[in-house]
Every structure is written in C-alpha cells, then in structure tokens.
C-alpha cells in the first residue's frame, strides 16, 4: 500500500507526517467500526458476560473509540504544525532572497552614485592639470609645479636639518612624540616655503583629497580590489610628487590620518624614488598613521 512505502525523495527515510491522511482514514474507520463490533459481540454473539467486569457498556463504547479519535487528533495537530513549520521556513527563505536582492540593488545604486561623483571630480582634476600663471601664455603642467614644490620642500627641510642637525636623528621611543611634533612643524613650514599653499596649487590638492573622501565614503560597498582599482585610476592622473605632497600635507592635518590608514594611501610612497619624499618624511608619516616610525610598508 502507498502509506507503507518509504519516501524515496528523502533518501529512503520513512516519514510519518508524509502519510498522515492515510493513517487518519484507517484510524477513523477503526473508531466507527469498534462500537459496532462491540454491539455485535454483546447482542449477536451473546458474549456480554465476558465484558461484565468492564463496567457499563457506555464506558466500553467510549473507551473503545476515544483512543483512535485521540490519535487522529494528535496526528492532525502534528500535520498542522509541520505545515506551518514548512511555510515559515519558506517565508524565511523568500525574505532572505528578497533582502539579498535589495542589498544588491542598493549596492548597484550606491556604486552608480560613486562612479558619477568619482569621474566628475576626476574630470575637474584633469581640467586643472594644465594651468596658466600670471601673464604666461604657455601652459604649465600642474605636475611640474608640484614637482617644483616638492623640490623646494626638500631643500627647505635640508636647510632646517643643517641648522638643527642634532634634532634630525630618530630618538628612543620615549621621545617620539616630542621629536615628530617638532618635525611636523618644520615640515609644515617647508611646505609653506615650497609654494604648495599657493591658491591654485592648493585648490588642486584639495580636489585630490575630495576624491580620496569619495572613495572612502563608498568603501563599504566595494571589495578591496575595487578600492585599489579606483586608487590606481586616480594615480594615473597625477604624478608621484603630487601624491607625496598631498599625503604629507594630510599627515600634518592630523584629522585626515584615518582616511590615510583606511585607504592604505601610505603604501604608495617609497623614499627610493627620485620624485618621492625623504626617508625621514617616510618615518614621520609612519609614526603619524601607524604610531611606529619603522612600520614596514607593502612593496
């Protein structure tokens, strides 16, 4: 019979709930047949004396049908519970899929907003890369200007180093705060002498910072490789000396060190490059961002 077969869809396991209606039908049949069978025994076969010790016949009638009816009731309650459990499981799965779909749609919408902002600001950076100073007719590359600023900055720092030579050796850890505090003041003064804070040059640097802010704002919606891709895209638009000066200036503005750390911008600098910062500058940035002047950068 069908209700005695194993459930082949569930790895051969016999599940009572899958055939509960067949069991219920049989038990109901027993419930109706049982009192008739009792009457037949008592009235037709005249075997009533055999049940004298069972009490009144009504007790026998109730006792003979109640177990079957109870089992049927329990079976239907179990079936109802199982159906509700399956429905709840289905609803949870549908909710999970709906939530994942909404999250994907939100991520797509956020990435569209990010790319619109990113490329809009990138276009502004491109438009400012070639500039005119004063009455000059020939356009000057902003990269050349910032390279000149970096060169001037390094010369100013060397001049300070000659003047305060005893203060340019990295001290013990207990004196880091004092040493790098003084170094920061000298770096800021050297930047001022370099022309970095010229209105148009500094405006260009602020636009780069704005792109950093946009990438960091949407970073939670991107994989790490995507963040690196957009930083690579930005770095292709600006030269290394520009990146170095902007990073140094962000460290001097200590409230921006969190962005440097989160985007790992300091991994892009290296003192061995001609257009890069000095080794002491690298130690200073490492101390400001990581609290360790000898922090090992990814190569």
Rounded Cα distance between 103 and 262, Å, is 23
pLDDT computed for residue 63 by the predictor? 66
Report the chain's mean pLDDT, rounded to a whole number: 78
pLDDT computed for residue 254 by the predictor? 79
pLDDT category of residue 1 using cuts at 50, 70 and 90: very low
In this predicted model, what pLDDT tens digit does every residue of 154-212 receive, in sequence order? Answer: 888 888 877 766 556 788 888 899 888 888 998 999 999 888 888 888 888 999 999 99
Q: Which two tokens stand for residue 96?
A: 């999970």
- Whether this prediction's pTM lies above 0.75 is answered by no
| SS3 state of residue 10 | helix
Query: Phi/psi zone of residue 46: left (φ > 0), alpha (ψ -120 to 50 degrees), beta?
Result: left
Rounded Cα distance between 247 and 251, Å, is 6
> Within 13 Å of residue 188, how many CA atoms lie on the same side as its CB?
11
In this predicted model, what pLDDT tens digit does every residue of 75-89 receive, in sequence order? Answer: 778 888 888 888 888
Q: Which residue has the tokens 């709840």?
A: 88
Q: Nearest CA to 248 among 260, 264, 232?
A: 260
pLDDT at 2 over 60: no
Contacts of 23 (CB under 8 A, 6+ apart): 3, 16, 75
Q: Is the dihedral of CA 116, 121, 126, 132 positive or negative?
A: positive
pLDDT at 258 over 80: yes
In this predicted model, what pLDDT tens digit does every residue of 214-236 receive, in sequence order? Answer: 999 999 888 889 999 999 889 88
pLDDT at 248 over 50: yes
Q: Nearest CA to 275 among 164, 167, 150, 100?
A: 150
CA separation, residue 38 to residues 30, 138, 252 (Å): 12, 117, 100
């Amino acid at each position: 019979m069908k209700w005695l077969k194993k459930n082949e869809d569930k790895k051969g396991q016999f599940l009572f709930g899958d055939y509960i209606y067949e069991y219920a039908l049989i038990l109901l049949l027993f419930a109706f047949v049982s009192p008739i069978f009792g009457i037949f025994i008592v009235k037709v076969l005249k075997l009533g004396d055999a049940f004298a010790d069972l009490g009144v016949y009504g007790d026998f009638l109730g006792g003979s049908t109640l177990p079957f009816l109870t089992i049927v009731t329990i079976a239907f309650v179990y079936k109802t519970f199982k159906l509700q459990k399956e429905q709840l499981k289905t609803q949870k799965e549908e909710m999970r899929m709906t939530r994942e779909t909404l999250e994907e749609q939100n991520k797509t919408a956020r990435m569209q907003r990010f790319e619109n902002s990113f490329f809009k600001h990138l276009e502004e950076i491109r438009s400012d890369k070639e500039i005119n100073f004063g009455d000059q007719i020939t356009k000057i590359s902003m990269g050349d200007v910032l390279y000149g600023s970096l060169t001037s900055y390094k010369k100013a720092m060397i001049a300070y180093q000659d003047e305060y030579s005893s203060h340019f050796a990295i001290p013990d850890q207990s004196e880091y705060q004092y040493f790098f505090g003084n170094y920061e003041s000298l770096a800021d003064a050297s930047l001022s002498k370099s022309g970095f804070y010229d209105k148009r040059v500094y405006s260009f640097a602020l636009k780069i910072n704005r792109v950093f802010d946009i990438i960091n704002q949407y970073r939670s919606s991107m994989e790490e490789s995507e963040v690196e891709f957009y930083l690579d895209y930005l770095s292709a638009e600006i030269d290394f000396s520009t990146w170095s000066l902007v990073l140094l200036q962000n460290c001097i503005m200590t409230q921006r060190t969190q962005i440097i750390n989160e985007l790992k911008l300091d991994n892009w600098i290296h003192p061995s490059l001609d257009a890069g910062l000095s080794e002491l500058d690298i130690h200073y940035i490492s101390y400001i961002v990581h609290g360790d002047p000898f922090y090992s950068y990814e190569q």
